[in-house]
Amino acid sequence: GAQPGGLYSPADPLVLLQVDTLERRVLNSSSAWLVEFYASWCGHCVHFAPTWRALAADVQEWRPAVNLGVLDCAEMANQKACGKFGITGFPTLKFFKAFSKNPDDGMKVFHPGNSVESLRQSIVIHLEMHKETWPPACPPLEPASMEEIQGFFQANNVTYLALIFEKNDSFVGREVTLDMLQYENVAVRRVLSSEEELVKKYNVTTFPSAVLLVNNGTFCRIQVQIEARSFYTHYLRQLPGVTQGSSTPTVAPDVQIKTTPMPWRPADRSKVYMADLESALHYALRIEVARFSVLTGERLKALKSFVAVLAKYFPGRPFVQNFLRSVNRWLRNVSGPSVPYRALELVLTNRKEGLAPAVLSNNVTWVGCQGSKPHFRGYPCSLWTLFHLLTVQATKHRRLSTGPLEVLGAMRGYVRWFFGCRECAKHFEGMAAESMDQVSTVNEAALWLWSRHNRVNARLAGTETEDPKFPKRQWPPLDLCPPCHDMVNGRHVWDEAAVLRFLKAHFSPANIFLDFTV
């Protein structure tokens, strides 16, 4: 079964890393590592997981040279480690060369197409970046020359040498080389089509194609049905005398942190829960913002706006309100262009004198946002809820308002500069750029967020990120708000005046319940 909370299971051919194994396994390792840092609540990570799993299966025999790992940054215990490794969005892929010393030695790997093939090629390219500290188990990947081939059997105690002739941009040769790295008595080298002497010597006319050299001086064309990686690999593994090496490293299963499943917290859909809201504050300020060790420029501005609207409009318990106001005051007073997160953290945990006691719990408790599985709902659900609440509260405290876009602008900035689901942030920014500036009243702001959220719901309905126990529907459903729904000429329409009344009642302090808060 799946790891508690994670998207991957011990049955997958990759290493499930945890806070206590991350550095020990990945740093100072004799193999390179490619690690996916993900958050189980992030829909795009859920989409990406099958690709990552397929990649891991595809390159599992490359393991002594390169290992694949995953770390769930949404797990409380792992969050500090993700910060230390500089993870600011999900999923993030980082390649660590063999013998990497520090968390920042990881190189970000881009994965625009999300195809197994392009990721696999990316691994090859990154392996080639090793210079003096080549991973000991990784065979040479550079193209072979005439001199090297001529002296090969004197220098290497193997029976066979397979030469893969290919064009410069082909990966087949290097992939077969890595596929065969655990096999004894055979070596594989790529030869470029531009290496004219070798091409002529072995009568090669098409690329890719392969030639097998034997240490008795004979050679033959490798006959395969299709000139492709899996066919060459299969052919070579069948050769007499070629065996899988006894040194095959078996990857010891990592000890898993056992988490006891949380008891189900019954929630009522017609209510808003303070536990969700306070958990959103904790997660946003203590985890998402903490991923940036220094806050400057637009990001610092976004943080200030976010905290300012929280201080003004968050209808929290008195000690939470005091806390938000003191954080806001502190942020207003910082002089200079940047704030180290460490300084903010002292304020958030009140290790500075004269500020409110540490109020944010060190944990999250989802109630209205609880999912049927740990990777459903949770934080993104609570962030929506928080911002709906803030847009509605701004309609009730117009005296305090600096304009109709105050809360929406703060949300836009927060999502853009901090929200870990980067794909979500891109989509949201698209919607904001399209129409947010047309909002001209605080009421319209609350309705704008409601209607954009419904667009997101429509887009995500039926996808694998949908919790089957909480299907994505247009909200509020008929049973929550009958007057919100109307029919005109046989078509469903929203009664926006009724929706606004409903939003104001739903996201009001009177409808916020304290169940499961401590």
- Residue 495 engages ligand FAD in binding (rule: CB under 6 A): no
Find the part of the chain contacting ligand FAD (CB under 6 A) among 73-81, 142-150, 191-199, 467-475. 467-475
Q: Measured from the CB atom, is 212 or 425 closer to ligand FAD?
A: 425
Asked whether the beta carbons of 285 and 360 are under 8 A apart, the reply is yes
Residue 45 beta carbon to ligand FAD: minimum distance, rounded to whole angstroms: 9
Residue 138: active-site member: no
Which residue of this chain has its Cβ atom nearest to ligand FAD in the complex? 43
Minimum CB distance to ligand FAD, residue 366 (Å): 9
Does residue 475 interact with ligand FAD by CB under 6 A?
Answer: yes
Task: Name which of 172 and 405 has its Cβ closer to ligand FAD.
Answer: 405
The stretch among 83-91, 191-199, 317-325, 384-392 that binds ligand FAD (CB under 6 A) is: 384-392
Q: Does 424 bind ligand FAD (CB under 6 A)?
A: yes
Q: Which residues contact 52 (CB under 8 A, 6 or more apart)?
A: 8, 14, 36, 68, 70, 91
In the sheet that 66-72 helps form, which strands lie side by side, from edge to edge? 15-16, 66-72, 32-38, 92-96, 107-109
x-or-dash string of contact with ligand FAD, 443-462, rule CB under 6 A: -------x--xx-xx--x--
Q: Does residue 121 touch ligand FAD according to CB under 6 A?
A: no
Which residues ranging from 356 to 375 are in contact with ligand FAD (CB under 6 A)? 369
Q: Which helix (H) or strand (E) holds 148?
A: helix 146-150
Tell me whether residue 360 or residue 424 sits nearer to ligand FAD (CB atom). 424
Residue 22 touches ligand FAD, criterion: CB under 6 A: no
**Neighbouring-strand partners of residue 512:** 272
* 414 is a contact residue toward ligand FAD (CB under 6 A): no
- Of the two residues 25 and 388, which places its CB atom closer to ligand FAD in the complex? 388
Does residue 427 interact with ligand FAD by CB under 6 A?
yes
Phi, then psi, of 338 in degrees rounded to 5: -145, 155
Residue with tokens 């890393």: 17
For residues 152 and 516, which CB has a smaller minimum distance to ligand FAD in the complex? 516
CA 36 – CA 243 distance, rounded (Å): 32
Of the residues 345, 423, 429, 495, which one makes contact with ligand FAD according to CB under 6 A: 423
- Burial class (CB within 10 angstroms; exposed 0-12, middle 13-18, buried 19+) of 130: middle
Binding pattern for the stretch 53-82 against ligand FAD, x by CB under 6 A and - elsewhere: ------------------------------
Whether residue 202 contacts residue 163, with contact meaning beta carbons closer than 8 Å, is answered with yes
Rule CB under 6 A: say whether 428 interacts with ligand FAD: yes
The reply to whether 377 sits near ligand FAD by the rule CB under 6 A is yes
Phi, psi (degrees; rounded to nearest 5) at 200: -70, -45
What's the closest the beta carbon of residue 427 comes to ligand FAD, in angstroms?
4
CA distance 59 to 178: 8
Cβ of residue 446: shortest distance to ligand FAD, in angstroms? 9
Longest alpha-carbon distance in the chain: 92
Query: Taking the CB of residue 411, how many other CB atoms lie within 10 A of it?
Result: 28
45 counts as catalytic: yes
99 in contact with ligand FAD (CB under 6 A): no
The rounded distance, in Å, linking the Cα atoms of 273 and 517 is: 9
Q: Is residue 280 a contact residue for ligand FAD (CB under 6 A)? A: no
Contacts 24+ apart (CB under 8 A), 203-209: 204/165, 207/165, 207/166, 207/167, 207/170, 208/164, 208/165, 208/166, 208/167, 208/170, 208/172, 208/173, 209/164, 209/165
Residue 420 contacts ligand FAD per CB under 6 A: no
Contacts of 399 (CB under 8 A, 6+ apart): none
Whichever of 237 and 427 has its CB closer to ligand FAD, that residue is: 427
- Name 493's bridge partners: 486
Bridge partners of 16? 70
Tokens of 80: 């500090």
181: tokens are 């790295």
Q: Does 237 engage in binding with ligand FAD (CB under 6 A)? A: no
Interface positions with ligand FAD (CB under 6 A): 43, 369, 377, 380-381, 383-385, 388, 415, 423-424, 427-428, 450, 453-454, 456-457, 460, 465, 467, 470, 472, 475
Q: Mind telling me the catalytic residues? A: 42, 45
